[in-house]
Amino acid sequence: MDLKGICLLFVLFAVALITSTEGKPPLNMQTISNLGFLSSTAKCQCKIAARERRNCGPPGISAADCRKAGCCFNASVPGVPWCFTAKPKK
User: C-alpha angle 78/38/81, rounded to 5°?
Assistant: 20
pTM metric for this prediction: 0.52
* Rounded mean pLDDT, 47-72: 93
Question: Count of residues for the chain?
Answer: 90
Domain range annotation of the chain: 1-34, 48-90
Torsion sign across C-alpha atoms 17, 42, 64, 70: negative
Report the C-alpha gap between 77 and 70 in whole angstroms. 20
Report the C-alpha gap between 40 and 74 in whole angstroms. 16
DSSP label at 48? Answer: -
Q: Are 46 and 74 in contact (CB under 8 A)?
A: yes
Does the domain made of 48-90 have the CATH classification 4.10.110.10? yes
The predicted structure's pLDDT at residue 39 = 43
Average pLDDT, the chain: 75
